[in-house]
Amino acid sequence: MRISEIIRLVWLNLSQNKFKVVLTSVGIIVGSATIMLVIAIGTGSREEVAEQFKNLNAGAIDVTYGASADGSSGFGWFSMDGSSSGMPSFGGSGGSMPSFGGGGGSMPSFGGGFGGGSSSGSGSSRSSGSSAMPSFGGMGGVGNATNSDGVILTQKDCEMLLEELDSITDATISYTTSTSVEGGDLDSATYYTIAGVLDNYAQISNLDVSIGTFLTQENDEGKEKVCVLGANVAKEIFGSAYAAYDSIIYIDDRPYVVSGVLEEMGTVASGISPDTAVFVPYQTGIKYITGETVNPTLTVIAADVNKVSEVMEEVSMVLSEEYDGKSFTLSDAGSKMEAATTSNKTLTLLLYSMAAIVFIVGGIGIMNVLFVSVKERTNEIGILKALGCSRKDILMEFLLEASCISFVGACIGVLLSLGITPAVEFFSVRVSLSAQGALLSLVFGVITGTIFGFYPAYKASRLIPVVALNQE
């Protein structure tokens, strides 16, 4: 029998049983949609991890005094610890990941285990505006989070480490708090994350300024009231970076000149990024916003990223000697990146396993229906054999039917995945659909149907014509 005749028979059988074809391919539909979404979510999560750590120096080591609830502290804007569920937070402030970093105080936690309590500096904080600030990883909090034994890291510790250790190339110190901000287009005082940083923080964190300049050493030494806005903050307060530059905002009721606006960095861990922060000189923040009750994070950069663990031991030893045997919490950026990547791979593997199980169930469904079809069409098979069709022709016909059923199911599954993608993204899950994922879903669907359809097709091809024709 010619291949065109076999294809025509397959088309006739399938077109006369459209509803059965759809029901038979339900398992393939679900499996195809699942595997396409798995690929899309896996790709999206990898992009998310890459984006989260794009301004993270691989040789960065964070040092804080005291530990958070989970024993972690973060670098810069990050707080990716091993206690998370494995996937980084997807999306913005509405992400479903829990807050990173512990801490008490009246303000929410800002990483490093030290809560961003109410400001203890002079000046009253307005009560109006939004007070719900998300968790901010990586810098020490302020206010009520002070240490009972009075150990506070300072800028002098940065200088000491740079002098004593040749294994580090740079060091900085920073802290965060949350306080009221007014000015620009704001109708009332609104709480924003305020970060006290040194002039080298931008270089260490790979932050780029879109307009103006970053904070300088002179700003810090003179305790000048200047600030640098994150991209989103500038848009929210002034409408644009251009309008924000050289304007005035009021932080805790004091005027600050906007000396620069950062480039947009995108979403990072816990939904927090430099985009949502206001940067002020380190000493300015202590004098006017936080007071001396601040517990900062000291960040050093290892000269050799392959010797980060050795540098951590050296830093710990030097600080321990300086502070009479006190213990410090150290964490490195490389471990956070590795943990996030490993967790992402583990979750992706689990999703692939789930998709494989769904495909197997769908294949079994196709096999079952084809067995029933062979039973129903025994006489037809007998007639075809009596007319001269070979075993190969019968095998080919039933295999093509199985492949076509699975192909239809795979196509519907791809369309289904496109339809439910907005629902998945609604839960702040990053989905990155691709033609490669759709093609792979189709291939897996057809292969599954063909494999599970082989045995029923083989059984049909082995029927004896006389017995088949006499079958009731």
From the number of C-beta atoms within 10 Å of its C-beta (0-12, 13-18, 19+), residue 325 rates as exposed
Is residue 438 over pLDDT 60?
yes
Asked if residues 336 and 111 have their Cβ atoms less than 8 Å apart, the reply is: no
Give how far Cα 472 sits from Cα of 38, 198, 449, 462, Å: 47, 90, 29, 18
Q: Binning pLDDT at 50, 70 and 90, where does residue 217 land?
A: very high
Tokens standing for residue 37: 């979404």
Identity of residue 396? M
In this predicted structure, what is the pLDDT of residue 125?
36
| Segment 273-326, tens digit of pLDDT | 789 999 999 999 999 999 888 889 898 988 887 788 899 999 999 998 888 888
Question: Which residues fall within 8 angstroms of residue 250, CB to CB, at 6 or more apart?
Answer: 181, 182, 183, 256
DSSP secondary structure code for residue 76 in this structure: T
Q: Cα(266)–Cα(71) distance, rounded to whole angstroms? A: 27
Backbone angles phi, psi at 152, to 5 degrees: -135, 125
Percent of the chain past pLDDT 70, that is, above it, reads 77
Residue written as tokens 């992009």?
47
From the number of C-beta atoms within 10 Å of its C-beta (0-12, 13-18, 19+), residue 3 rates as exposed
Mean pLDDT on 215-243: 95
Domain boundaries in the chain? Answer: 3-48+342-469, 67-326
Tokens standing for residue 33: 């949609």
Backbone angles phi, psi at 469, to 5 degrees: -70, -30
Q: What is the mean pLDDT of the chain?
A: 77
Question: Which residues fall within 8 angstroms of residue 376, CB to CB, at 6 or more apart?
Answer: none
DSSP secondary structure code for residue 89 in this structure: P
Tokens standing for residue 425: 């993204």
Residues, the chain, total?
472
Q: Binning pLDDT at 50, 70 and 90, where does residue 82 land?
A: very low
Q: Cα(301)–Cα(171) distance, rounded to whole angstroms? A: 6
| Segment 167-205, tens digit of pLDDT | 999 999 999 899 999 999 999 999 999 999 999 998 888
Q: Cα(302)–Cα(169) distance, rounded to whole angstroms? A: 6
- pTM value is 0.55
DSSP secondary structure code for residue 287 in this structure: I
Q: Cα(127)–Cα(179) distance, rounded to whole angstroms? A: 10
In this predicted structure, what is the pLDDT of residue 50?
67
**Three-state secondary-structure class, residue 352:** helix
CB atoms within 10 A of CB 363: 23
Q: Binning pLDDT at 50, 70 and 90, where does residue 268 land?
A: low
Question: Which residues fall within 8 angstroms of residue 353, CB to CB, at 6 or more apart?
Answer: none
